[in-house]
Structure 1
Amino acid sequence: MNNLKLQSLLNDKLSATQIKDYAPNGLQVEGVENIKKIVTGVTASQALIDEAIKQNADALLVHHGYFWKGEAEPIVGMKGRRIRALIKNDINLYGYHLPLDIHPELGNNVQLAQLLDIEIEGGLEGHAQSIALYGRLKAPLTGAEFALRIAQVLDREPLHIAPDHADKVIETVGWCTGGGQDYIQLAADQNLDAFISGEIAERTTFVAREQGIHYFSAGHHATERYGIKALGEWLAQEHGFEVTFVDIHNPV
Structure 2
Amino acid sequence: MTAIDTSTPTSNTSITAEALTQFCDDYLSANAFKDYAPNGLQVDGGQSIKRIVTGVTACEALIDAAIAENADAIMVHHGYFWKGEPATITGMKGRRIRKLMQHGISMIGYHLPLDAHPVIGNNAKLSEALQLTVTGALYPNESHPVGNITTCTPQSTGDLIAKITQALGRSPLHIAADYHADSSTKTSNRLIERIGICTGGAQDMIEQAALMGCDAFISGEISERTTHIARELGIDYFACGHHATERGGIQALGHIISQEFDVPVTFIDIDNPA
State the TM bucket, normalised to the shorter chain.
over 0.9
Partner of 1:169: 191
**Contact residue 123 and residue 129 of structure 1 kept, 8 A:** no
| Mapped pair 1:81 → 2:95 | yes
C-alpha deviations, 1:193-241, integer Å up to 9, x for none?
A: 1100001111110111111111000000000000000000011122211
Deviation of residue 32 (structure 1)? 3.4
Q: Unmatched 5+ residue regions in structure 1?
A: none
Partner of 2:10: none
C-alpha deviations, 1:112-140, integer Å up to 9, x for none?
A: 00000000001110034112110101x22
Deviation of residue 145 (structure 1)? 1.2
RMSD: 1.0
| Mapped pair 1:144 → 2:158 | yes
Partner of 2:12: none
User: Please, which of 65, 72, 78 is the counterpart of residue 79 of structure 2?
Assistant: 65
Partner of 1:204: 226
**Contact residue 177 and residue 196 of structure 1 kept, 8 A:** yes
Question: Which letter does structure 2 place at the counterpart of 1:155?
Answer: G
Q: In structure 1, what is the Cα distance between the partners aligned to 2:254 and 2:264?
A: 9
Q: In structure 2, what is the Cα distance between the partners aligned to 1:54 and 1:172?
A: 44
Question: Which letter does structure 1 place at the counterpart of 2:40?
Answer: G
**Contact residue 202 and residue 220 of structure 2 kept, 8 A:** yes
Q: Unmatched 5+ residue regions in structure 2?
A: 1-14, 180-187
Question: Which letter does structure 2 place at the counterpart of 1:229?
Answer: Q
| Mapped pair 1:184 → 2:206 | yes
Partner of 1:21: 35
Partner of 2:107: 93
Partner of 2:4: none
**Contact residue 32 and residue 144 of structure 2 kept, 8 A:** no
Aligned identity (percent) is 54
Partner of 2:240: 218
Give the number of the structure with larger relative contact order, counting CA–CA contacts within 8 Å between residues 6 or more apart.
Answer: 2
TM-score normalised by length of structure 2: 0.90
**Contact residue 151 and residue 195 of structure 2 kept, 8 A:** yes
Question: Which letter does structure 1 place at the counterpart of 2:107?
Answer: L
Runs of 4+ in 1 over 3 A off after TM superposition: none
Question: Which letter does structure 1 place at the counterpart of 2:81?
Answer: F
My pick for the range that moved more, 42-51 or 160-169, is 160-169
Aligned residues: 251
Q: In structure 1, what is the Cα distance between the partners aligned to 2:28 and 2:55?
A: 17
